[in-house]
Amino acid sequence: MRVARKASREGTRQQNRRLVFQEVFANRGVSRADIARSSGLTRATVSTLVSDLVAEGLVRETGTGPSAGGKPPVLLELVDNAHHLITLDLSGRELRGAVVNLRGNIVATLGGDSPIGQGDAAVDNLVDAIAGLQELASAPILGVGVGSPGVVDPSGLIVDAPNLGWRRRPLGQELTTLSGLPVHVVNDSQAAALAEFSARPDARNLIVVNAGPGIGAGIILEGRLFRGDGFGAGEIGHISIADGPLCTCGNSGCLEAIASAPVILAAIADGIDDFPESDPTEAWQRVRDLQDAGDPNTVDVIERAGTALGTVLAYVVGILDIHQVAIVGEIAAAGPALLESAKVELQRRVLPALAETIVLHLGTGSADLVTRGAATLVLNRELGVA
């Protein structure tokens, strides 16, 4: 009995600490009295918890606010760089690693060529990247957030990620053991959706399609990330829509096998001797030039990819009636024609009343979306904020 009561007192204390920290995190320059008022905790409890947070270096006093008659209140704020976070984005061709502070601002990034690889080699590469980023951090590391393609469960188990050769791989656990840091894993497109959603305070529902080497979507429903019964909500890349080419998942005619970035570039490069296929930035510039010049094959490939994307999006929109659809990832570099083809096909396939209101657009600051989403996950799991 006594043990149980002690445990529950500790639980309450942790909960109260989270409440206080949430108030400081959400409001720049908040007083102890403000926190007591909005959290419903007593002034004494708030004072004790604030003292702890200040002693730990997470919160500091930042001056005084206007007096309401008596002594002017001391204001508190978050120490943005009290901890750093490490993020790894596995959604692109190369590993994107970053050190991020508690406000989600990028402090440092992994330089040089960082291949992701497959299977065991990919895990080794991630461990090396974490070690490299740890050296770039100038504050204690709170945790690591990984945005990975494929189906990811909340424990960090990769249920299936065909492009990385991972099946039932307990990535979160493995990386936690190998790095000695708390590691949290989330699906890359779901991470991107969380980040895009936080940049759009007016949206209630949102689809974010992340299209690079693979294609996935994150779906926000009624203000919350929808993960599905098996955590695979938004795995649109492996919806089969044609008797088309074989896909990495074993099926054929998947969206990914028609409209992923490498597939598009390979189809355009075919027949062009000096196509800069090994350099994606140059390759997409060439694609845009070829489109401007009206090259029939390029125009055709882009239209086919956009149409395939629009076809799959029509199913999602037809079922959920979501008006805001953002396209992010490498494919955004293809230019407006791809987006236009997707829009035309989407509108052709859904009820006109639904079609009129759909806004298909490129995401905000799309290159960092997975990084920001992964950082949000770490803040949420480790500190109960964001």
Residue 232 contacts Zn ion per CB under 5 A: no
Position 251 contacts Zn ion (CB under 5 A): yes
Which C-beta is closer to Zn ion: that of 29 or that of 253? 253
Which of the stretches 129-137, 179-187, 232-240, 270-278 binds Zn ion when contact is defined by CB under 5 A? 232-240
Residue 312 in contact with Zn ion, rule: CB under 5 A = no
Residues binding Zn ion: number (CB under 5 A): 5
Sequence-ordered list of residues with C-beta below 8 angstroms from that of 370, at least 6 positions apart, any chain:
87, 89, 91, 96, 147, 188, 191, 192, 195, 210
**In the set 247, 264, 309, 374, which binds Zn ion (CB under 5 A)?**
247
Reduced to 3 states, what is the DSSP secondary structure of residue 49? helix
Please state the closest distance from residue 330 (CB atom) to Zn ion, in A. 18
Q: Binding of Zn ion at residue 96 (CB under 5 A)?
A: no
Q: Measured on CA atoms in the order 296, 301, 302, 307, is the torsion positive or negative?
A: positive
User: What minimum distance in Å lies between the beta carbon of 249 and Zn ion?
Assistant: 3
Sign (positive or negative) of CA dihedral 294, 297, 302, 308: positive
Contact region with Zn ion (CB under 5 A), list: 1-9, 70-78, 252-260, 264-272: 252-260
Closer residue to Zn ion (CB): 35 or 211: 211
Give the C-alpha separation, 289 to 275, whole Å: 12
Q: Which of 184, 227, 238, 343 binds Zn ion (CB under 5 A)?
A: 238
Give the containing element (helix H, strand E) for 307.
Answer: helix 296-320
**Is residue 39 involved in binding Zn ion (CB under 5 A)?**
no
Instruction: Give one word for 29, left, alpha or beta, with left for phi > 0 and alpha for psi -120 to 50.
Output: left
Judged by CB under 5 A, does residue 186 bind Zn ion? no
Tell me how far, at minimum, the Cβ of 161 lies from Zn ion, in Å. 12
- Cα–Cα distances (Å) from 105 to 100, 189, 358, 368, in that order, read 5, 20, 31, 10
In the complex, the residues that contact Zn ion under the rule CB under 5 A are: 238, 247, 249, 251, 254
